[in-house]
Amino acid sequence: MRALLIANPASRKLMRGLGVEALVKKLRGPGLEVTSRVTSTPGEAGIFACGAAGEGFDTVVVAGGDGTIREAIDGLAESNVPLGIIPTGTGNVLRRHLGIPSDVEAACEVIKAARTRRFDLSRAGERHFILHAGVGHDANVVRRVPAPLKAALAELAFVGTMVSTLAKEQPWRMHVRVDDAEWEGRAWAAIVANSSSYAWKMKLVPAARTDDGVLDVAIFGACGVLAFAALHIMALFGRHLKSPHVHLFRGRTVQVEADPAAPVQMDGDLVGRTPLQCVVVPAAISLIVP
């Protein structure tokens, strides 16, 4: 078996002294040959992953955060090459969702066991996401959080940025279409979820599943700044869905437009601005899971 290890040197654990060669040694085992490549520019993980099958690799392993994993998924979507995850990033939301150990050595053991499972993806243009896409406020937070603060404080870095960002924002006028259903009005954010997991262990869309062939959408309608901040606290306890400001939809295709154009993030990566058009791709990726 040949595995390609794609490592993001800017990920939190690798920045703090965990070397790529050390990862290779932990990952190697009887019958498993490991080749490593280090990313240097955004999107490179996807390029490496895309070429893996053609180069004869049986497995791709990513050492990085959710953004690097999302790039690799772009390269492996709708292929039969499985993806293993060594969580070295900041939030590592997908790690929590899949139950992959946070300890690097334990994560390597999961990869060596080679148990795979197919998961849905959502495709938006040439990009894919496995967790969620966010339009509006949460994408603005991703855009504004300082990289050094993110590296130092991990998910706590997003808390202060969320508050300061909210103080400067106004709700957007959004038009959201989910299959044949439509919603239009002013909103702070629209979350297109393929997974129930979100940052800080919140489950913004608890009904979302990565293997049900549909996408779940939560729209956070316009309300006061304090009320919107309170929704985040309520989400920690799963009580935000009772709010009249939260609107839920489910379907296979989603389109979000905003006026003015709103920022868009996918799995923690800022990818541009609205309009956002995405469609679910059932069983599109094979992941190595515990």
Query: CA separation (Å) from 20 to 4, 6, 26, 34, 255?
Result: 12, 9, 10, 11, 40
The number of helix segments (H) and strand segments (E) in the chain equals 10, 15
Nearest CA among 56, 71, 72, 108 for reference residue 87: 108
**Mean pLDDT for each consecutive 10-residue tract of the chain (290 residues)?**
92 74 89 93 94 94 93 95 92 90 94 96 96 93 65 54 69 97 97 89 88 97 88 85 95 98 93 97 97
SS3 32: strand
Quick one: tokens of 153? 């404080």
CATH code of 129-283, in short, is: 2.60.200.40
**pLDDT at residue 161 in the model:** 63
CB 188 within 8 Å of CB 162? no
**pLDDT at residue 261 in the model:** 97
**pLDDT at residue 155 in the model:** 57
| Residue listed under structure tokens 């309170």 | 230
Quick one: tokens of 77? 């979507």
Is the pTM here over 0.75, yes or no?
Answer: yes
**Longest Cα–Cα distance in the chain:** 59
**pLDDT at residue 233 in the model:** 83
- The domain limits of the chain are 2-114, 129-283
**pLDDT at residue 153 in the model:** 46
Pairing of strands 263-266, 33-38: unpaired
Domain covering 2-114, topology? Rossmann fold (3.40.50)
**pLDDT at residue 268 in the model:** 86
Partners of residue 266 on adjacent β-strands: 133, 269
Radius of gyration of the chain (CA): 19
**pLDDT at residue 11 in the model:** 82
CA 216/CA 239 separation, integer angstroms = 17
